[in-house]
């Protein structure tokens, strides 16, 4: 059951008074609008801070009032429950956080920049090393938190440093060696916000970069569905890739409400248009039970699930 915040109108007015007028603040924002799976209930507050000062002020505001907050990228690795989120969703999508600047062989990209934009700008500048970001539908902040990777590359292999803000508003520039990084995760960003990152690339002929990106794109789109999804739903167990397991269990195409196991790729759960988060969660549970009962394998979600039922 979802609870409600006390005096949300008063809180909204107070929040407005704490930040510059360029910061976007909305009430009751449908999270389905902000996730690639297109499900999720209302967030009490949705804010896009205009700059680092405003971000810091929002964090202070949340801390003083004991409000929960969640840092949202482009919502491509998220499943938000139907009851939404009682707190403040903070999204670094304003121009200040979305800049991509090239300096020699280095690229500084804001946390709100699209991963694809970084790959395309690198190609334009004849810089190789971030081609794998081309087809991942998230932001640089999400790439850093998830140590996103594809086609043999992963984010932290190309990162030279990350500018972060802690929850008290202090800013530091960290090298990867100073951060806790593992397969598809950067634990340091569980309690720090990535503001931007510097990627170190190598000069290469533009045609070579272009043809690598084209090959990556063809490979991706021949093996993954175009329907709304959150990418791979489960981590790959040690014994077998999750998609192969689901395929071998004969579960491709299984449907609950508007949620369906993709026919193209067993590890993608897609929204047929009218799915609720509950449909997706029930489908996840069904797949987990079958994998456990029939093969003794535990499937755990790679996608982050948050919010209230």
76: which 2 tokens?
A: 């491509």
DSSP single-letter state for residue 211: H
Task: Candidates 42, 78, 79, 233: give the one binding ligand FAD (CB under 6 A).
Answer: 78
Is residue 81 within 8 A of residue 277, CB to CB? The reply is: yes
Q: What is the CA radius of gyration of the chain?
A: 20
For residue 159, state whether it binds ligand FAD (rule: CB under 6 A).
no
What DSSP element (H or E) covers 43?
Answer: strand 42-48
For residue 138, state whether it binds ligand FAD (rule: CB under 6 A).
yes
233: which 2 tokens?
A: 């739903």
Nearer to ligand FAD, 171 or 295 (CB): 171
**Count, residues near ligand FAD per rule CB under 6 A:** 32
For residue 88, state whether it binds ligand FAD (rule: CB under 6 A).
no
Site string for ligand FAD, 176-215 (x = CB under 6 A): --------x----x---xx---------------------
Task: Candidates 31, 55, 150, 162: give the one binding ligand FAD (CB under 6 A).
Answer: 150
Piece of 49-57, 66-74, 123-131, 234-242 that binds ligand FAD (CB under 6 A): 66-74
For residue 145, state whether it binds ligand FAD (rule: CB under 6 A).
yes
User: Beta strand 42-48 with 85-91: parallel, antiparallel or unpaired?
Assistant: parallel
Q: How many CB atoms lie within 10 A of CB 182?
A: 9
Task: Candidates 23, 56, 76, 271: give the one binding ligand FAD (CB under 6 A).
Answer: 76
Helical H segments across 19-139, by residue range: 52-65, 115-124
The conformational region for residue 131 under phi > 0 = left, psi -120 to 50 = alpha, else beta, is: alpha
Piece of 6-14, 19-27, 141-149, 288-296 that binds ligand FAD (CB under 6 A): 141-149
Phi, psi of 288 (to 5 degrees): -65, -45
Beta carbons within 8 Å of 17's beta carbon, 6+ residues apart: none
Task: Candidates 2, 36, 217, 236: give the one binding ligand FAD (CB under 6 A).
Answer: 36
Binding site for ligand FAD (CB under 6 A): 36, 71-78, 92, 111, 136-139, 141-143, 145-146, 148-150, 184, 189, 193-194, 224, 229-231, 304
């Amino acid at each position: 059951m979802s609870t409600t915040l006390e005096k949300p109108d008063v809180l909204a007015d107070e929040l407005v008074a704490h930040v510059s007028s360029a910061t976007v603040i909305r009430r009751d924002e449908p999270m389905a609008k902000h996730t690639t799976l297109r499900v999720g209930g209302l967030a009490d507050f949705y804010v896009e801070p205009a700059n680092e000062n405003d971000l810091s002020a929002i964090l202070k505001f949340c801390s003083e009032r004991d409000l929960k907050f969640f840092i949202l990228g482009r919502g491509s690795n998220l499943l938000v429950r139907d009851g939404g989120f009682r707190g403040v969703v903070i999204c670094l999508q304003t121009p200040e956080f979305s800049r991509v600047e090239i300096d020699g062989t280095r690229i500084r990209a804001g946390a709100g920049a699209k991963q694809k934009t970084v790959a395309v700008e690198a190609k334009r500048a004849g810089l190789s090393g971030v081609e794998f970001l081309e087809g991942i539908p998230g932001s640089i902040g999400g790439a850093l938190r998830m140590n996103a990777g594809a086609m043999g590359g992963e984010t932290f292999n190309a990162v030279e440093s990350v500018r972060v803000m802690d929850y008290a508003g202090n800013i530091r520039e960290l090298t990867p060696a100073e951060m806790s990084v593992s397969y598809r995760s950067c634990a340091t960003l569980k309690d720090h916000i990535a503001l931007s990152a510097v990627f170190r690339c190598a000069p290469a002929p533009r045609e070579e970069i272009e043809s690598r990106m084209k090959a990556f794109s063809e490979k991706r789109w021949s093996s993954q569905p175009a329907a709304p999804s959150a990418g791979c739903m489960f981590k790959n167990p040690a014994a077998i890739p999750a998609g192969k397991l689901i395929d071998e269990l004969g579960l491709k195409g299984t449907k609950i409400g508007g949620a369906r196991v993709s026919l193209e790729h067993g590890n993608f759960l897609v929204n047929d248009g009218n799915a609720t988060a509950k449909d997706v969660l029930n489908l996840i549970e069904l797949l987990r039970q079958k994998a456990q009962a029939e093969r003794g394998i535990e499937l755990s979600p790679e996608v982050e699930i948050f919010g209230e039922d």
